């Protein structure tokens, strides 16, 4: 049976490159178009967690070992209060063994480099800003700001939270992303010392006034951290009267070590603010020969550490389904892809949003009640619900994640 021959992927982030790598694995040519002129901005940013489900998806396209090789396996996920009291501690070795995949911390640039290598530099066109497309019965033609065009069987919008493809699919009737009410100040710092930050534990500290602090070791010398501040937090970060590091140090001055040491060790230029947004769960990812994946389809807040994981899942699922699609069946397959992924992605978006609201509590009595709830329920009920969501058997059912046929080159 003849299948599609070429896909046009708009966006060279995690979702776009995963999709392209999966398509190549299926023997389908993929060309990736990125509006930014150089890969520099794509390689910036801090670290993050990739959970078991992301590695299970990466395994379907043969990339799990390459990503894990330059990552740090997490053995514990520990929740604490801003006084240092342990609220919950999740042991991750058991779930890793049961599902056959690790949970790891890594640099965002590490994942991006692995995906880029799998796709091949020659298939990624930088400085290609999409301006529109035209469909017909046999394919789709994309147009770019530099006057160039490209032809393929399908156009895949993987261009992020403020997706051009999404906006054009909706002809301007698209509300802006939903702001979550807080900012993540992300950085990687040089901080040797196992006694300060032990390898293999992801620390998640919850405080008052809308403050949280996350950190873990990336290697023997570097630590990734994430300071989350709400708009109502009593800091100078909104006006930046001083530099970011000084303001963050002041905001977290009463928190237990090593929070102060981590902030003090960080270069000012390394601290990058990210205003957290998502979009309420919804459909409309597929129309004709055009489809959305990753943050273009289902952006979510950072509270489940699943934004990259869900982009990877969607890319692998879509590539697998397109690998069995005749050219004239593309619209049907894209609708089936949305139907297969929409409920799971919506669960992730909604759960992540709800967790984020817990971090916005400001009154001391409510913070104490939240901490008590975490102490009582996070090692049992919350852990079970999180893993139930993360390792939902929808990952393994039906046509969603077919084993990739190694019929094409990966570049």
The catalytic site residues sit at 215
- CA geometry: angle at 129 spanning 123 and 133, to 5°? 90
Backbone region of residue 181 per phi and psi (left: phi > 0; alpha: psi in -120 to 50; beta: other values) = left
Q: DSSP string covering 20-63, please?
A: HHHHHHTT-EEEEEESSSSSTGGG-S-EEEE-HHHHHHHHHTT-
* DSSP E strand stretches across 219-349: 222-230, 272-278, 286-287, 290-292
* Cα distances (angstroms) measured from residue 210 to each of 15, 182, 252, 362, 376: 30, 8, 12, 6, 21
Tokens of 241: 């009267």
Residues 6+ apart with CB under 8 A from 193: none
- List the structure tokens of 212: 């949280």
Measuring CA to CA, how many Å separate 211 from each of 88, 177, 191? 18, 22, 23
How do 86-91 and 72-73 pair as beta strands? Answer: unpaired
Whole-angstrom Cα distance, residue 386 to residue 337?
Answer: 24
194: CB partners within 8 A, 6+ apart: none
Where b means 16+ CB within 10 Å and e means fewer, 281-295 reads beeebbebbbbbbbb
Measure CA 411 to chain center.
Answer: 24
């Amino acid at each position: 049976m003849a299948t599609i021959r070429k896909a046009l992927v708009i966006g060279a982030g995690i979702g776009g490159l995963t999709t392209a790598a999966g398509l190549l694995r299926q023997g389908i040519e993929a060309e990736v178009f990125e509006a930014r002129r150089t890969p520099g901005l794509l390689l910036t940013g801090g670290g993050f967690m990739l959970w078991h489900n992301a590695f299970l998806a990466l395994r379907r396209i043969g990339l799990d070992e390459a990503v894990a090789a330059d990552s740090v396996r997490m053995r514990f996920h520990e929740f604490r209060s801003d006084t240092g009291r342990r609220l919950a501690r999740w042991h991750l070795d058991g779930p890793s063994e049961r599902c056959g995949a690790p949970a790891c911390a890594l640099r965002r640039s590490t994942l991006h480099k692995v995906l880029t290598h799998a796709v091949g530099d020659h298939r990624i066109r930088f400085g290609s800003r999409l301006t529109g497309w035209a469909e017909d019965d046999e394919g789709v033609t994309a147009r770019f700001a530099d006057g160039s065009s490209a032809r393929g069987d399908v156009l895949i919008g993987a261009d992020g939270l403020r997706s051009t493809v999404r906006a054009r699919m909706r002809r301007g009737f698209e509300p802006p992303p939903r702001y979550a009410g807080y900012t993540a100040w992300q950085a990687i710092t040089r901080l040797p010392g196992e006694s300060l930050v032990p390898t293999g534990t992801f620390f998640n500290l919850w405080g008052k006034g809308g403050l949280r602090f996350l950190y873990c070791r990336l290697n023997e010398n570097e630590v990734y951290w994430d300071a989350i501040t709400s708009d109502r937090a009593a800091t100078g970060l909104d006006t930046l009267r001083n530099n970011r590091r000084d303001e963050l140090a002041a905001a977290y001055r009463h928190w237990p070590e090593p929070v102060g040491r981590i902030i003090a060790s960080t270069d000012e230029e390394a601290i990058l603010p990210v205003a957290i947004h998502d979009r309420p769960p919804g459909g409309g990812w597929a129309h004709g020969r055009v489809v959305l994946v990753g943050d273009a389809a289902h952006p979510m807040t950072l509270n489940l550490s699943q934004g990259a994981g869900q982009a990877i899942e969607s890319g692998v699922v879509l590539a697998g389904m397109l690998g069995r699609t005749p050219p004239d069946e593309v619209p049907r397959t894209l609708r089936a892809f949305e139907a297969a992924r929409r409920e799971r992605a919506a669960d992730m978006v909604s759960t992540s949003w709800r967790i984020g609201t817990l971090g916005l509590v400001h009154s001391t009595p409510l913070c104490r009640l939240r901490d008590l709830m975490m102490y009582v329920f996070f090692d049992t009920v919350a852990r079970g619900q999180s893993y139930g969501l993360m390792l939902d058997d929808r990952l393994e059912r039906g046509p969603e994640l077919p084993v990739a046929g190694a019929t094409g080159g990966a570049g």
